[in-house]
Amino acid sequence: MWFYLVTLVGLYYLLHWYREKQVVSNLQDKHVFITGCDSGFGNLLARQLDRRGMKVLAACLMEKGAAELRNKTSDRLETVILDATKTESIVAATQWVKERVGNTGLWGLVNNAGISIPLAFNAFLKKEDFAKILDVNLLGVIEVTLSMMPLVRKARGRVVNVSSVLGRVSLFGGGYCISKYGVEAFSDSLRRELSYFGVKVAIIEPGFFQTAISNSDRHLSHVKMLWDQASSEVKEIYDEKFLLSNETTIKLLDKLSNKDLSLVTDCMEHALTSCHPRTQYSAGWDAKLFYIPVSYLPTCLADVILFWTSTKPKNTP
């Protein structure tokens, strides 16, 4: 009995391993458009795919980032300036991509660009603070995808959306977690819709990694600015000790953040090059062993864990 059970489980994982290792043919002929290539995951992925021989179309926010990326890659890689918050910039970038891919279409679209500031208690924030993040992390992803969708459909290609473990477990106030929850929902609906056209959609859910948008000094200076601008009523409720405890939390997360960005870009590369990509990829041991398991717990248990590991206001009952 046990022998047959172990054999079946072994055969299942062997088949799973074999499917995961199957690679799409003619990768050197396929174009991939990546947003947010100035630094971080997007920059590393662009260089990674370029080394693999793919035709990378890298979108950067600043010309400086684009020039530095071109200096580190082959002549195959081309760059374009893209501001994901501006429709005219997205339209221009789409036309630029269309001219390069021609009738073959766009094999891969990687929505990687994002921002994270401000992260703070919601009471410290205004509507504009939420909108600033949502414009890039969610609405930007949606508009870029809708604009590029006809090119991806033509190639029967891939859409890879970068979410986060914070799209499963909301640890902070502000727009970042909201935006990542939105990316998860948008990706799910997109995956079902585009499956009819042979297009595959994957979500990348990294844990905490050391990138430009997770820079602790920038977060701390912004939290200090929000405190200075807060009303006397909010300061009375939250107390200045909030700054110290919040600083401790941010520095701890920064210290525990993973420096190996290839754990994330390897997931992106697999989603773009595998014959059988996964629908969701978790990257980092903190994502696999803590945040994602917590997201499956009953709400009452998850709340207990997250409440006692979070920064709390002074006047908490």
Give residue 121's pLDDT. 78
Share of the chain above pLDDT 90, in %: 63
The region of weakest confidence among 99-113, 115-129, 139-153, 223-237 is 223-237
**DSSP label at 139?**
I
pLDDT band at 238 (very low <50, low <70, confident <90, very high): confident
Measured CA distances, 207 to 28, 276, 290 (Å): 31, 23, 9
Helix%, strand%, coil% for the chain, nearest 5:
60, 10, 25
pLDDT higher than 80, residue 278: yes
- 24-214+258-296 domain in CATH 3.40.50.300? no
Of the candidates 12, 18, 176, 291, the residue annotated as catalytic is 176
User: Hey, how many other C-beta atoms are within 10 angstroms of the C-beta on 86?
Assistant: 13
β strands within 247-293, DSSP E? 280-283
The domain segmentation of the chain, as residue ranges, is 24-214+258-296
Here the tokens at position 19 are 């499917």
Q: Is 12 marked active-site?
A: no
pLDDT higher than 70, residue 216: no
Contacts (Cβ under 8 Å, ≥6 apart) of 107? 30, 31, 32, 152, 155, 157, 158, 272
Q: Which amino acid is at 185?
A: A
Closest CA to 268 of 115, 90, 54: 54
3-state secondary structure of 206: strand
Distance CA 294, CA 2 (A): 32
| Average pLDDT of the chain to the nearest whole number | 88
Phi and psi (nearest 5°) for 282?
-105, 135
pTM to 2 decimals?
A: 0.89
